[in-house]
Structure 1
Amino acid sequence: MTRDEMTEALSLIAFCDYTFGLFENSGGALYLQAMYVAPDIVTGLPEPQYTRKWQLSQHMTKSEFVQTVFKCCLTSFEHRARESFLYRGVRVYGPHFDVEALVALARAGAHDVRHPFE
């Protein structure tokens, strides 16, 4: 798909209050990113929120492109759910944990496993 074809397909997509954009990096790679306005999880003030960037291929079919936009929406909603879900007042499944801190937690053996019936 060309950038123009992707732009045309984006014009046919609606999801909540999201807007979608195509962006090119300095190397010429094309990316999809969505934006919506929602309360910031720290300040509570309405602020623009941006999804992760999704690299696109010029070899995508229209179906692959539309499915990638859909995956962007699903991933964004999962991210929002992880930020909003609290256990004991803490975002235990938050999406912003440092991966090295997660490695340390795993290496410390902090596992909660079910034991089989005997």
Structure 2
Amino acid sequence: MLDEAQAYENSRDYDCCQIIEGAYTVGDAVYEAYCDGREALPTNAEIEAVAKRLLWRSCKKWDGVESDCVAKGEDDAWDYAGEIPGFQEEYIRHAKEMLEIARKAVSE
């Protein structure tokens, strides 16, 4: 993450030596903001977006049974899944797990 933040800071077209506070530069602020963004927990909107995609990708095969998914898209499938108790919640749980796995992979 620190290498990515440094590369991002170096790629920006600004006067990285401009002083904001004392010896704190614009480049320092960009570096810090990049790291803060990478370490931030995923938002509910991000989690739901991943859950919707997981659901949509599995739409043709629910419970191991081939089906003709009546949903026309991710949102339609998500709305349909909301009619089945616990179905959306299970995909949200999987989405949280996947996002946590991804976070660990990039931070190690």
TM over 0.5: no
Higher helix share: 2
Indicate the structure (1 or 2) with the bigger Cα radius of gyration. 2
Higher strand share: 1
TM-score where L is the length of structure 2 = 0.33
Which structure carries more relative contact order (alpha carbon 8 Å, separation 6+)? 2
TM-score where L is the length of structure 1 = 0.31
